[in-house]
Amino acid sequence: MVQNVAAMLPDLEPEDFHLLSGVEQGMRFSEWVRREKLPEFSRLTQEDVDYRLDRCLDRDLIERKTIQYEGYRLKFEGYDALALHTFVERDSISGFGSSLGVGKESDVYEVQSFEPMALKYHREGFTNFREVMKERDYTSDREHVSWLYTARKAAEREYEALEAVYPDVAVPRPVDQNRHAIVMEKIDGVELSRTRLEDEQVVPVLALILDELAEAYEQGRVHADMSEYNVFVNESGITIFDWPQSVPTDHENADEFLERDVENVVGYFRRKYPQLVPDDVDVPGLAAAVATDDRDRRRSLLGL
């Protein structure tokens, strides 16, 4: 498991970050950065590189290989340290709190800013790189792609999507983004998958989710990865999160992704509340009503 690097941040010196940045730069061209290239990439002397390598290895921020040649690459802890250092320098973060959730493709922590916020580290490509390469269209045109690139592009894409739809769509407010990390509004609520709704709430909550997807479409975005695991429910409504796979509405597959999103959401409600959401719900009709922002049509199809 990736460790929380916040505690070691005060012990790191500016030259340590120069070394980490140098390794990061070198990884743009190859998975492992040759030791002799590090003075050039980091703008440190060879003697300083030697000293900083030992410090960063001791702190588990980088790793070394010696087969064929001596090379180095960042571990996710090192990449986390670079992003966190940048947020601190920008005054986007002033304190670090506890974990809010650890998933297959991201880790989320509570952080302190002008108010409690959430810091999301993207982990795409770290544990299952080949699978991510197949699924993410932003890797298709690059000859050499590292997990740093896929994680950073996921964060950039998610931040771009949040900026595009906020505040018209119920999403976390975006605050800052650097490398593979995003600072955003901390949302209180319970994941839809872990919620048991009262009978009278079921169809209205489903309708509310479709309303938000319709507003996102109106703002030019399709989520493209909707499920019961990226919707929070609370007393004031819902919040939709996890937007790294979103696409603009002019994407060639946007309508296909939109219908899949609607099918995923409706399918979840069908399975969990079969007595309230029948199998014959017109998913293509609902998707079309989302794309045209026809609220009355959506409610009619849901029997409201």
Per-residue pLDDT of 238-283, as tens digits, reads: 999 999 999 999 999 999 999 999 999 999 999 999 999 999 999 9
Tell whether 239 is covered by a domain: yes
Tell whether 84 is covered by a domain: no
Number of domains making up the chain:
3
> Do 221 and 255 lie in a common domain?
yes
Tell whether 274 is covered by a domain: yes
> Do 172 and 229 lie in a common domain?
no
> Do 46 and 113 lie in a common domain?
no
> Do 14 and 94 lie in a common domain?
no
User: CATH no. for residue 53?
Assistant: 1.10.10.10
| pLDDT for residue 257 | 98
| pLDDT for residue 4 | 76
> Do 163 and 98 lie in a common domain?
yes
Phi/psi at 120 (nearest 5 deg)? -110, 120
CB 8 within 8 A of CB 55: no
How far apart CA 239 and CA 156 sit, in angstroms, is: 20
Which of 122, 154, 185 corresponds to the end of one domain? Answer: 185
| 3 state DSSP class of 176 | strand
> Do 194 and 232 lie in a common domain?
yes
Tell whether 130 is covered by a domain: yes
How far apart CA 216 and CA 152 sit, in angstroms, is: 23
> Do 178 and 105 lie in a common domain?
yes
> Do 161 and 194 lie in a common domain?
no
Phi/psi at 162 (nearest 5 deg)? -60, -45
User: CATH no. for residue 251?
Assistant: 1.10.510.10
| pLDDT for residue 132 | 43
> Do 141 and 208 lie in a common domain?
no
User: CATH no. for residue 156?
Assistant: 3.30.200.20
Which of 162, 185, 208 corresponds to the end of one domain? Answer: 185
List the chain residues with pLDDT less than 70: 1-3, 126-145
> Do 55 and 120 lie in a common domain?
no
CB 183 within 8 A of CB 215: no
> Do 177 and 242 lie in a common domain?
no
Domain of 54 in residue numbering reads as 6-78
Tell whether 1 is covered by a domain: no
Residue whose token pair is 């709190």: 97
Which of 130, 155, 185 corresponds to the end of one domain? Answer: 185
**55-88 burial code (b ≥16 CB/10 A, e <16):** bbeebebbbeeeeeeebbbbbbbbbbbbbbbbbb
Tell whether 85 is covered by a domain: no
> Do 194 and 284 lie in a common domain?
yes
How far apart CA 37 and CA 42 sit, in angstroms, is: 9
Tell whether 276 is covered by a domain: yes
**Angle separating helix axes 46-58 and 14-26, nearest 10 degrees:** 90
| pLDDT for residue 104 | 79
Catalytic residues: 225
Per-residue pLDDT of 159-193, as tens digits, reads: 999 999 999 999 999 999 999 999 999 999 999 99
